[in-house]
Amino acid sequence: MAPKDHVLLLATDQSSMVPAIEKLLTDDGIPYTLGVMPGPPPRAVFTVPGHRLDDARVAVASEIPMDFRDADDHVDADEEEAADQRAREREALQKTAFPGREIFIGAALATLHLAIVFLLESPLVSRIATFNAWGLRPELAATEPWRLVSSLFLHSDAGHALRNAVSMIVFAVPLMIELGLARTGLIYLVSGLGGGLAASMATSAGTTVIGSSGAVAGLFGAWVAMRLRTAVLTRSSWRSRMRAAGVAVLVLPSFLSPFSADGGRISVSSHIGGLLAGLAIGAVLAGALILQQERSRGSNPPGGGSSSGGSSSGPGGSAGQADDIALSFRRRD
């Protein structure tokens, strides 16, 4: 039996989602009980203390989009609505799974960058001639615009390529999970172009600019925009907001420093141009996703399903206490 002060948080027939929900509640220090409600289909039922209900909803919704409905609504919802809910839960499960595909894609691009570095250090190719032929040169940007793209694949040494590769994977992986490969690739490319244009306008003639850090800065900008979207949609807890702000505070200075750790010169203008481009694209995509989710909520309001018999008040109400819902509970304090 659930403790008397507990109320219903959610009920789901997707058993594979249970570990992810348990982890989110545990990480935020929210006590909960987990039980089974008879079917068909059988459902996992989570309850939490009434005074922690809002915190629990925020913790779960920060990673898993959920309709927090009364158990009766889940049981008696029409087939089409139930199918939509299961589709959303499957999509949420994919987002909580290990991002092996996304990491592989990022690692493949990093490997390509390193392979080019090693090729340029071999006696087969002239490193300086390659930089002059394919690197971004401000005086040639208007007549040879393809250099804005080719320069993204050139790096001064393996350390330069590795630093950009690690940063790219850190921010590209969550973006690919949220937005998909095509949109993330678009952000990367447009940010690289934006960084190259900014560098062309701010760098003196005769200078060659190389590296993908402008594109990486754009990924960071888009990541910030998506974190702001999450805060708007889920009313994220102060912990979630502080984590995002902390990452931004730690990362931003590295994009604004004119010198690298080994004393090499850095094109700050490229970083700023890429960052602004990524922020802009990320804001547009985040805004579109917010509107899409708001429309979805409007057409499928929480608690909109029919119910038959028993209590049908929302999880936060007095009738939402779940001590009579499940057959067995496992409690985590």
Whether the per-residue pLDDT at 80 is higher than 60: the answer is no
Q: Tell me, what's the pLDDT at 206?
A: 85
Q: Quick one: 130 and 169 in the same domain?
A: yes
- Domain that residue 140 falls in: 100-293
Q: Tell me, what's the pLDDT at 226?
A: 87
Cβ 7 vs Cβ 47: under 8 Å: yes
pLDDT tens across 194-231, in order?
999 999 999 888 889 999 999 999 999 999 888 877 77
Sheet of 32-37, strands arranged across: 6-12, 43-49, 32-37, 329-332
Q: Where are the alpha helices (DSSP H) in 77-180?
A: 79-96, 100-120, 127-134, 147-150, 158-179
Report the 10 Å Cβ neighbour count for 247: 16
Residue 224 domain-assigned (yes or no):
yes
Q: Quick one: 125 and 62 in the same domain?
A: no
Q: Quick one: 236 and 118 in the same domain?
A: yes
Residue 311 domain-assigned (yes or no):
yes
Q: Quick one: 14 and 126 in the same domain?
A: no
Distance in Å from the first CA to the final CA of the chain: 15
Residue 82 domain-assigned (yes or no):
no
pLDDT tens across 93-108, in order?
555 667 888 999 999 9
Q: Quick one: 310 and 288 in the same domain?
A: no
Q: Quick one: 276 and 327 in the same domain?
A: no
Residue 88 domain-assigned (yes or no):
no
Q: Per-residue DSSP letters for 101-115?
A: HHHHHHHHHHHHHHH
Cis peptide before 258 (omega within 30 of 0): no
What is the band of 315 on the pLDDT scale with cuts at 50, 70, 90? very low
Q: Tell me, what's the pLDDT at 165?
A: 93
- Give the pLDDT mean for 5-21: 85
Q: Quick one: 309 and 181 in the same domain?
A: no
Whether the per-residue pLDDT at 237 is higher than 50: the answer is yes
Residues in the chain: 333
Cβ 151 vs Cβ 138: under 8 Å: no
Q: Quick one: 174 and 265 in the same domain?
A: yes
Q: Quick one: 126 and 154 in the same domain?
A: yes
Number of domains the chain is built from: 2
The CATH number assigned to the domain holding 149 equals 1.20.1540.10
For residues 76 and 174, the model is more confident at 174
Q: Quick one: 226 and 258 in the same domain?
A: yes
Q: Quick one: 309 and 289 in the same domain?
A: no
Q: Quick one: 135 and 252 in the same domain?
A: yes
Q: Tell me, what's the pLDDT at 185?
A: 95
pLDDT above 70 as % of the chain: 71
- Give the pLDDT mean for 61-87: 55
Q: Tell me, what's the pLDDT at 144?
A: 93
Residue 84 domain-assigned (yes or no):
no
Q: Tell me, what's the pLDDT at 151?
A: 94
What is the band of 109 on the pLDDT scale with cuts at 50, 70, 90? very high
Residue 299 domain-assigned (yes or no):
no
109 closest CA partner among 168, 197, 59, 60: 168
Residue 172 domain-assigned (yes or no):
yes
Residue 86 domain-assigned (yes or no):
no
